[in-house]
């Protein structure tokens, strides 16, 4: 379950990054995605946290 949750968080982060860079979307959506990305760590850090949680 931890691995699935970790993967979902990484995918959500990647999706937000794609949205923030997609010039075909309205600026308001790109900005919101960019603001939400501030709350996500880099993918490697998310995976590390997931592995540490699994060991607990």
- Per DSSP, helices labelled H in 1-56 are 2-21, 27-37, 43-55
Q: How far apart are the first and last CA of the chain?
A: 13
pLDDT tens column, 17-52:
999 999 999 999 999 999 999 999 998 999 999 998
The structure tokens listed for 35 are 């603001």
Tell me the domain boundaries of the chain.
2-55
The band of 13, judged by pLDDT with boundaries at 50, 70 and 90, is very high
By CB neighbour count within 10 A (0-12 exposed, 13-18 middle, 19+ buried), where does 23 fall?
A: exposed
CB 50 within 8 A of CB 3: yes
C-alpha 47/C-alpha 26 separation (Å) is: 31
């Amino acid at each position: 379950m931890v691995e699935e949750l970790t993967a979902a968080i990484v995918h959500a982060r990647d999706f937000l990054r794609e949205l923030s860079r997609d010039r075909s979307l309205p600026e308001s959506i790109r900005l919101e995605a960019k603001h939400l990305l501030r709350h996500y760590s880099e993918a490697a850090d998310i995976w590390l946290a997931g592995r540490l949680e699994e060991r607990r």
